[in-house]
Structure 1
């Protein structure tokens, strides 16, 4: 029988936190303890957490990062498993029950489920919803079958506490602790597991301001981990290295793919409209089948899922800009000592006070 403690790092999260804590209270397998780290909030985060009957930890000063807040709570965990949940993420009622069996395998160090968007109100949320449905029903199952998942999502990952403590806690050396830990454990010969039946709903960017800051963090963090781990991945976890290299190749070739209709029109003298139609057809051929499977798998309305496809190109454009920026900054300028890279993350949600989160340079 596994025991589990939940850690919820929270800074100015009074609006999103109640839904998160209520979802934990509704779990079919209840956690043994819930720890909310009120990291120097200036709103009612601490009061909201206390009203839900959980343990609230208040560091003496702002710790400056999600990983540091999680590490502040880690010594208070005495259970064999630790579940890290973001303060704006809602877990399905059977999330814990569904993930726990993965840890019957003593080789499993970290596991996480499927992430979906909580809301699809704006262009950006609809685009992110499509990205999640595609990624978690195409890329992630393939990686899981190869025993090489790219990342166990930090908003809803379960960790084996002994492994986490032996590693030194949640890694603070990069801007994305979830990918850092997932890669590190696989390099060390431990297993990371994707549990597709466990579902978490994340609050994703509702406006461009928040989206661009979040994507910059993700892309910079990915490149920081490439710089830190790629050599050892090639030697110790080659299949994971393949996924990483394919992701880099996709970033490098994306501008060429987006330019394809114009190149065809200019070189083979096809009408631009026809060239674009061929390009769009190829895109839809690659995109629609996984989305249809995702709609069936998650019992979502097919027309609603397909209607969001145009929105994904707006988020893809933002992804591409910041992916290239990350390549240049993290993989070129940082090694040349011309930049420190991204060491500060400004949360940027429209409905909260902007939060500057300092991280140790990686």
Structure 2
């Protein structure tokens, strides 16, 4: 029988935190303990957490990043498993029950489920919902079958505590601790597992300001991990290295793909409308089948899923801009000692004050 402690790092999360804690209280297999790290919030985060009967930890000063807040709580964890949940993420009632069995395999170090968006109100949320449906029902299952998932999502990952302690806790050396830990454990010969039936609903960017900050953090963190781990991935986890290299190739070739209709118009006698139609048709052929499968699997309205497809191109454009920025800064300028790279953790949500800190060893 596994035991599990939940760590919820929270900075100014009084609005989103109640739903998170209610979802934890409603688990079919309840956690043994819930720890909320009130990281120097200036709102009622601590009071809200206390009203839900959980243990509230208050650092003496602002720690400034999710990994540091999680590490502050880690010494309080005495169970064999640790579940890290973002303060704006809601878990399905059977999330813990669904993930626990994979840890019967002693080789499993970390596991996480499927992430979906909690809200689809704005253009950016609709675009992100499409990205999640595609990624978690196309890329992630393929990676899982190859026993080499790219990342166990940090908003809802379960960790084997002994492995986490032996590693030194949640990694603080990169801006995205979830990918860093997932790659590190696989390089060390441990397993990371994707549990598709476990569902977590995340609060994703509702406006462009928040989206830009989140995507820049994700893309910079990805490139930091490439810089840190790629050589060892090639030697010790070659299939994971393949996914990483394919992701880099996609970033490099994306501008060419987006420019294809214009190139066809400039180099052939095809009218612009026909060139764009060919391009759009190819896009739909590549993206629609996984989305329809995802809609069927998650019992979502097909029409709504299809209606959100145009929105994904807005988020893709933002992704591309910051992916190229990350390539230039983190993989070119940082090795040449011309930049420090991203060393500031900033969540960026409109209703949350920015959290800033320098990374350890940054």
Distance 2:353 2:150 in 1: 32
Please identify, of 262-271 and 118-127, the stretch whose mean Cα deviation from structure 2 is larger: 262-271
Q: Secondary structure at 1:23's aligned position in 2?
A: helix
Distance 2:100 2:218 in 1: 27
Q: Secondary structure at 1:219's aligned position in 2?
A: helix
CA deviations over 1:63-109 (Å, ceiling 9, x no partner)? 11110100000000000000000000000000000000010000000
Q: Secondary structure at 2:111's aligned position in 1?
A: strand
CA deviations over 1:174-204 (Å, ceiling 9, x no partner)? 0000000000000000000000000000000
Q: Secondary structure at 1:50's aligned position in 2?
A: helix
1:268 shift after superposition: 1.4
Please identify, of 267-276 and 77-86, the stretch whose mean Cα deviation from structure 2 is larger: 267-276
CA deviations over 1:299-338 (Å, ceiling 9, x no partner)? 0000000000000000000000000000000000000000
CA deviations over 1:129-156 (Å, ceiling 9, x no partner)? 0000000000000000000000000000
Distance 2:38 2:357 in 1: 14
**Residues 1:357 and 1:203: Cα distance change in structure 2 (over 3 Å):** farther
Distance 1:171 1:346 in 2: 17
**Residues 1:340 and 1:207: Cα distance change in structure 2 (over 3 Å):** same
Distance 1:344 1:156 in 2: 22
Kept after mapping to 1: 8 A contact 2:64/2:345: no
Distance 2:15 2:142 in 1: 36
1:354 shift after superposition: 2.6
Distance 1:137 1:149 in 2: 13
Distance 1:113 1:164 in 2: 19
Q: Secondary structure at 2:13's aligned position in 1?
A: coil
Kept after mapping to 2: 8 A contact 1:183/1:229: yes
Please identify, of 195-204 and 259-268, the stretch whose mean Cα deviation from structure 2 is larger: 259-268
1:49 shift after superposition: 0.3
**Is 1:84 aligned with 2:123?**
no
What does residue 328 of structure 1 align with? Answer: 328
CA deviations over 1:32-71 (Å, ceiling 9, x no partner)? 0000000000000000000000000000111111101000
Q: Secondary structure at 1:357's aligned position in 2?
A: coil
Distance 1:297 1:277 in 2: 29
Kept after mapping to 1: 8 A contact 2:152/2:179: yes
RMSD: 0.6
CA deviations over 1:242-283 (Å, ceiling 9, x no partner)? 000000000000000000001011111211110000000000
1:361 shift after superposition: 4.3
Distance 2:269 2:94 in 1: 56
Q: Secondary structure at 1:358's aligned position in 2?
A: coil
Instruction: In structure 1, list runs of 5 or more residues that go unmatched.
Output: none
Q: Secondary structure at 2:349's aligned position in 1?
A: coil
1:346 shift after superposition: 2.0
CA deviations over 1:199-218 (Å, ceiling 9, x no partner)? 00000000000000000000
Distance 2:117 2:127 in 1: 10
Distance 1:97 1:260 in 2: 47
Kept after mapping to 1: 8 A contact 2:179/2:222: yes
Q: Secondary structure at 1:63's aligned position in 2?
A: coil
Distance 2:345 2:33 in 1: 29
Distance 2:160 2:123 in 1: 38
Q: TM-score under structure 2 normalisation?
A: 0.99
- Residues paired across the two proteins, number: 362
What does residue 193 of structure 1 align with? Answer: 193
Distance 1:274 1:124 in 2: 28
Distance 2:214 2:221 in 1: 10
Q: Secondary structure at 1:320's aligned position in 2?
A: helix
Kept after mapping to 2: 8 A contact 1:347/1:357: no
